[in-house]
Structure 1
Amino acid sequence: MRLKFTFPSTLRHTDRCNCVGWMSSDDLYSVGEDHIVYKYNIINNELIKVAELPQDLYPLDMHWIPKGASLGGAGTIGAGAKRTIGSDLFVLATSDGKFCFINKTGRVEKSVEAHRGATICVRWSPDGSQFATGGEDGQVRIWARSGMLRSNLTQSPTPIFCVCWSADNDAILYCTGKYLVIKPLSPNSKQNSWKAHDQIILKCDWNTVNNLIISGGEDCRYKVWDTVGRQLYASQAFEYPITSLAWAPDGSNFAVGSYNTLRLCDSAGWCHSVEKPKDGSVFGLSWSNDSTQLACGCGTGRVGIGHIIERRIDWRHLEFVLTDSKVITVSNCETELKDKIELKDRLVKMSVGFGYLIVLTSSQGLIYNCKQLGHPAVFDLRDMSMSLIVQAEKYFLLSDGVNISIYSYEGRLVATPKLMGSKPDSVNANTVSLSPDTIAVRDSSDTKSIAFFDINGKPIGDGKSVSHTYDVMHLALDQTGSPNERKLAFADKFQDLFIMLVRSSGQGQRSNSQRIRKLCTNIGSFRWNDKNTMLSGFTDNKLHIWLYPAVVFIDSSLVNKTTYKIESGDFGKNPTISDFLSCQLTVRKSTGALIQCALP
């Protein structure tokens, strides 16, 4: 996977460009120190000079209001509501201590004095109801959407170079000196701070999907953290300081910018590719909402636009590679034949499994049978920006982060289960799972609860969510067996792994406590087998395969006797299970390398 960059010859500022941001997946805005606001349409290669700002106004940071904010909620979005693909207002932080609201036509709607000294950074909350600013005076301030001051969150002895929001809009991450600090908005909650770098931290970002934090600074390293301050990855020391970094909205990748260098990295931290633009330091980075395009603003004033290509997915003997934004190359490892799939529009998302390739473009969805790639089934995306594909044997699930839709492999819409009070990005790969007959979704308003639906979208049982003692972090349904034997594996925030019987009928109407059993502690990545009820997972740096995990409901002392363990020093730190097909396991190391393991 790598970024294919183009630097449009017309899109260039006469002074350095700190600020770039996507209004939609086709329209990019940039603001430079030459005081000019440009709008560039990547489809028509059309450049428009939107506005020229006052000569005493020097921009330092910009952020578009989030795409879900125009739905009017201050936190939740009603079931069935569509997320808008574009937004029409951004806030600009300036060197004179102000912030400005600027609409898409370039008109400055409001300008507010915010800090003593420069307003260095600004970020909208994920729900768009408020935003935070950080200043040269060491203050972090929270503002209402109207521009009214809500609170002075903190006072630091050093300037605040970057601020970020938590997924639940209830905490702020900021960097001060060598430290990262997570400060809850609630005055009675304790903040969490830790020394993250050996030199001043210049940038940080907090992803709303995977809940991971990245940081970079003058020690020329970037690092990946969890929310309690555990270091998950640290890069080598590079030649130049890290001047910018940004998570892709879907949490799968992040970008890191420094002098004449731009890196595309996996969420685990390892580097996919390195680009070497000759345009000085990369000061501004912005991902499009569909996580396929990256814009960068450089020290020379040039603006680059990168498309992710060479994205690879595989299923058994077939490999699918996105060789261009509209071309997929298919390689058959058995016959050594190659084929091409040419798309009308830019590819946004693709997934393969259970014999079918799902392709989402900017305008429609296509379903290819892996045995016959020639005639895909086509379905409409209903003007929604889909960010997630989850496949099962008979159906697949699409989500825009708020709503979910179930489709058959013929392209027929089967169900749209109603989720109560969904928040932006609350539906992601960790919080939803699909089996041939069941849908499991973590409740966005109560992260300790899990809601279950049948494949037609109707709630299972009495319709009430099943509650756990602690927050549920990751869940997965098994893929085989009858509906009455359906099991859910889930991990909570203390990394304990539990097995749950989804349906209580036929079990003597068991209570919730009787339906849930702990399988192990200190769990990392885990995955069900595609052909039977075996479950694999990493615990205590060992790969465990539970051959019959349901034995925990019969006699928990038999769990160890039905567990196959693989010990190897090759797995390294924080490995993940990519696939568990038949008797073959694919493990990805934290360095990005793949390891194949076979069950005897």
Structure 2
Amino acid sequence: MKLRTRFCKKNFLKTNGATEESGQKNTNYPLICVDWSSNEEIYFVSDDHQIFKWSDVSRDSVEVAKLPDDFVPTDLHWLLLGGRGSGGGKGSDTLLVCSNDGRFVILNKSARVERSISAHGAAISSGRWSPDGAGLLTAGEDGVIKIWSRSGMLRSTVVQNEEAIHCARWAPNSTSIVFCQGGHISIKPLAANSKLIRWRAHDGLVLCLSWSTQSNIIASGGEDFRFKIWDAQGANLFTSAAEEHAITSVAFNPEKDYLLVGTFNLLKLCHSTGWTYSSSRFSSPVVGSLFSLSWSADGTQVACGTSTGQLIVAYAIEQEAVSSNLKAISNSRKSITLRDISTGTRDVLDFPQRVINFSLGYGHLVVATTHQVHIYNEKYINTPIIIDGRNDTRVIQVGKKYFMILDATSIWVYTYTGRLHLNPRYPGSQAQIPLLTWRSISLGLDVLAIRDNSDPTMVYLFDLIPGASRQYEPHSLKAKQQLAEIAACRAGTPDDQFVSFIDTNRELFVSESRNLNGERSDEIYKIGTQLTAMMWASETNILVGVHDSCYSIWYCPGEGASDPTIIALTTVSLDTAEFGKHITIESFEDSVVTFCSAGARLPVTVNLYCELLHRALLEGQWPQALKICRLAQHANLWATLAAVATRKHQLQISEEAYAAALQIDKVSYLQHLKTLTPSSAEQMAENSLMLGRMLEAETILLHGRKYEQAVGLALRMHNWRRALEIAQKHQSEAPDLFQKVLQERWKYIKALQREEWDPLYLPHVVKEETDNTPSE
């Protein structure tokens, strides 16, 4: 992938106080204030005090306003109330411009000054609207950072010292501010009584900063000719090799994991982990240092302001998507080449509008332009299905049955025939649409999972099965920690759907989307630690995850999640020292996992027998599954078969599999299960209990009106409160249960030689002792 650039404005020259365009150099103004007001319009201003607008449609610049002669701009930023993907819609009507005398002005869409405020005692180095649009910050060379309301009222002074601040940026969630002073970078949380995080970042001055909305990491560039990447705690993740000149600008892409780096006559497109996709060197004409970089709202174009007054617009091309035998490459802004590797055929797809996103998978190519979505079937490539009215599509995810798009207004799930299947809504969804990323939304086989941005510990699960009640009434799943990434499984049966997620502690958890009874289980199981990325297989319920120095493959993450023994038996971890650093997962199709490190694709094959085993289990071919395990004779396979067979109540197969995996305790338990009435509530409950699903076991017993067994289960688990609740609730159907629970509790207390301490049992202590003492 690389950037294609073009020059949009000649040098600004000053002649007798007027501004004109000329090819001769005299006194040129550095262009350090550049920003997009929409996906087609760029506003820029220099020391000539004139605000210009460049249009992608007309390819020309026009003057829209003139600032006072004593107002020398230092920063410019548009407020897009519709979010990053608003495309300059109804909300993009407020412009912030800062000056070198400590003032800032707020202008409306017609360039009329709404407010002019003297904010600092020295030049303002940075002025930025907050991502949520609630206010703005100004940082000055007087060492002060202030937060203002949208109307320009001072809210607070968050930083105040004597050292000049060169750059300041908001955190993606608007709860912190990162800024640089000298060679140090600091993060100031806005919460009360929070501590400042400060560290030495560069050998020289830190000149520029950017905070990624996708990965929550920070990029910095300095006078030591290097750019670096940090996490939100100040730990260094990447340090570049020294360039020829100082790094003057950095900018993360708002929608993808790209980082743009600008220096003298050089523009570099990098991955967010640091390695470089491509470099564009400007030798003729010489543009000087790139002072300002601004991505468009859809993340496909970038505007660059230079020290010689040039405006450069660049857009990304040669983006690739690979799936099975198909490969799609974007040749230009309006064309994509689709290749079939198996047959050698090649089709060039031209579009009337600019391509802003595309995704390939399951035999379909979905392409989003500025106002349409095109659906291509690999068998009928010449007759696409077109959906109109989908503007500024930010995320596309393809699934086996449906595909999902996230645009500027909502989330949409379509079938491949172009029919709208679901437009999910949940509390506060409309306000959160601009903040959603590909890490916070996941399309599975029959489930759509969405992380709540207002409460990052909450996940909403939408059922995609036609006619399901949860299509518009999602089930909520709450974790203990904030979630960094979620993923719904892409294969299996409607009864075997799981969702996995990585929290902010980098721990991996799995939960069911739906259990065998069609009901929800809120139980969440931890199956891994120190994860940086994860992905489900495209055709089987196998999960792969990347750690710092290795990668792991979970061959049975769903059915075995509740049993740590099964997880240990079905997990394989392999070293990645030969892969390099900063490994990401590009795809997981069939039995091949494709990792990516420093631009190199590294395919790795998982256990082929386990892939075949999962496919046999998916089709219910139990004899075939047994043949595969007997042929391979591997503990991973036997443990996977045992977990799935136990879940499906295939006790005979489960017993053989556990025996082959040397799980003698489970074999003895299964032999006990076989003595119970087949398919009875007791047997099904005991089966669930063996899988570690205690809530499911209790539910089965209560539904089967086996109240005595349900109380006995609670007593076996020493869940005394639950046993008393069941006995009291069903006292009319089983009047002896209540007394039985009290007697067992009395024996337990007597064995401990303690007095009763539980408030639920204290009211019954006197009566309990009265009833039991004579019989002693």
Shared fold (TM-score greater than 0.5)? yes
Letter in 2 for 1:469: K
Q: Hey, what does 1:491 align to over in structure 2? A: 502
- How is 1:248-287 mapped onto 2 (pairs within 5 angstroms)? 248-277=253-282, 278-287=286-295
Aligned CA RMSD, in angstroms, stands at 2.2
User: SS at the partner of 2:560?
Assistant: helix
User: 2:294, 2:303 within 8 Å by CA — same for their partners in 1?
Assistant: yes
Tell me the TM-score normalised to structure 2 length.
Answer: 0.72
Residues 274, 158 of structure 1: alpha-carbon distance in 2 compared, 3 angstrom cutoff: same
| Counterpart Cα distance in 2 of 1:190 and 1:406 | 43
Q: Which residue, out of 20, 35, 40, partners 1:21?
A: 35
Find the partner of 1:403 among 400, 410, 431.
410
Listed as ranges, the matches of 1:80-95 within 5 Å are: 84=89, 87-95=92-100
**Percent of paired sites with the same residue:** 35
Larger RCO (CA under 8 A, 6+ residues apart):
1
For 1:3, the aligned partner's letter is L
Alignment of 1:442-591 (within 5 A): 442-455=451-464, 459=470, 463-504=474-515, 506=517, 512=522, 515-539=523-547, 541-553=549-561, 555-589=563-597, 591=598
Q: Which residue of 1 aligns with 2:21?
A: none
Matches within 5 A, 1:120-199: 120-199=125-204
1:344 maps to which residue?
A: 352
Contact 2:41 2:54 in 1 (8 A): yes
The verdict on how the C-alpha distance between 1:9 and 1:174 changes in structure 2, with shifts beyond 3 A counting, is closer
**Deviates most, 417-426 or 273-282:** 417-426
1:574-596 superposed Cα distances (whole Å, 9 cap, x missing partner): 3111111111110001x221111
Q: 1:231 offset after TM fit, Å?
A: 1.6
**CA distance in structure 1 between the partners assigned to 2:209 and 2:107 by the alignment:** 25
1:303 alignment partner, one of 311, 330, 335: 311
Alignment of 1:315-464 (within 5 A): 315-382=323-390, 384-400=391-407, 403-422=410-429, 423=432, 425-455=434-464, 459=470, 463-464=474-475
1: CA distance, partners of 2:557 / 2:194: 39
Q: Deviations over 1:203-256 (max 9, x none)?
A: 111122321211111111111121112222111111111111111111421211
Secondary structure at the aligned position of 1:550 is classed as coil
Separation in 1 of the partners of 2:586 and 2:259?
19
Contact 1:83 1:385 in 2 (8 A): no
User: Is 1:598 aligned to 2:619, yes or no?
Assistant: no
Matches within 5 A, 1:28-47: 28-47=42-61
Match of 2:220 among 200, 215, 219: 215
In 2, the alpha carbon distance for the partners of 1:290 and 1:579 equals 24
String of CA shifts for 1:399-434, please: whole Å, max 9, x gaps: 136631111111111111113214354321111111
Q: State the one-letter code of the partner of 2:437.
A: N
Distance 2:33 2:473 in 1: 51
Give the deviation of 1:46 after TM superposition: 2.9
Measured in 2, the distance between the counterparts of 1:497 and 1:179 equals 34
Q: Distance in 2 between matches of 1:524 and 1:381?
A: 36
Larger Rg: 2
- Offset, 1:84: 3.3
Q: Deviations over 1:348-389 (max 9, x none)?
A: 10111111111011121101112321111000234x422111
Q: Which runs of 5+ in 1 are unaligned?
A: 72-80
User: Superposition pairs for residues 48-67 of structure 1, below 5 Å?
Assistant: 48-67=62-81
Shift of 1:175: 1.2
- Output the CA distance in 2 between the equivalents of 1:553 and 1:594: 30
Task: Measure, in 1, the Cα distance between the counterparts of 2:193 and 2:356.
Answer: 43
What is the rounded CA distance, in whole Å, between the counterparts of 2:75 and 2:548 in structure 1? 43
The offset of 1:451, in angstroms, is 0.9
Amino acid corresponding to residue 38 of structure 1 in structure 2? F
- Please give the alpha-carbon distance, in whole angstroms, between the structure 2 residues aligned to 1:555 and 1:497: 15
Offset from partner CA, 1:515-566 (integer Å, 9 cap, x none): 2111111112111111111111123522221111234345311222222333
**Match for residue 2 of structure 1?**
2
The one-character-per-residue Cα deviations of 1:458-505 (angstroms, maximum 9, x if unpaired) are: 537984521111111111111122222211111111111111111256
| Distance (Å, rounded) in 1 between the aligned partners of 2:601 and 2:84 | 42
Counterpart of 1:76 in structure 2 is none
Residue 68 of structure 2 aligns to a residue in which SS? coil
Distance 1:461 1:84, change over 3 A: closer
Report the AA paired with residue 485 of structure 1.
D
Query: C-alpha displacement at 1:454, in angstroms?
Result: 1.0
- SS of the aligned residue for 1:557 comes to helix
| Aligned residues of 1:68 and 1:128 also touching (Cα < 8 A) | no
Alignment-mate amino acid for residue 342 of structure 1: D
- The AA in structure 2 aligned to 1:289 is A
3-state DSSP of counterpart to 1:111? strand
Cα distance between partner residues in 2 of 1:539 and 1:141: 39
Q: In the comparison of the two structures, how many residue pairs are matched?
A: 586
Q: TM-score, normalised by structure 1?
A: 0.93
Contact 1:257 1:282 (8 Å CA) reproduced: yes
Cα distance in 1 between the residues matched to 2:592 and 2:105: 56
| Range moving further from structure 2, 327-336 or 52-61 | 327-336
2:121 matches 1:116: yes
- Cα distance change on mapping 1:460 and 1:521 into 2, 3 Å: farther
Q: Is the Cα contact below 8 Å between 1:587 and 1:596 reproduced in 2? A: yes
**Residue 86 to residue 356, structure 1, CA distance change in 2 (3 Å):** farther
CA distance in 2, matches of 1:50, 1:189: 43
Distance in 2 (alpha carbons) for counterparts of 1:550 and 1:362: 39
Please state which structure has a larger fraction of its residues in helix. Answer: 2
Closer, same or farther in 2 for the Cα pair 1:560/1:553, shift >3 Å?
A: closer
Preserved contact between residue 364 and residue 378 of structure 1 (Cα < 8 Å): yes
| Aligned mates of 1:540, 1:586 — CA distance in 2 | 17
Cα distance in 2 between the residues matched to 1:247 and 1:424: 20
Aligned amino acid, residue 42 of structure 1: D
Mapped partners of 2:142, 2:399: distance in 1? 53
1:92 maps to a residue whose letter is V
Shift of 1:31: 0.4
The structure with the greater share of residues assigned to strand is 1
5+ residue gaps, structure 2, are: 14-27, 608-776
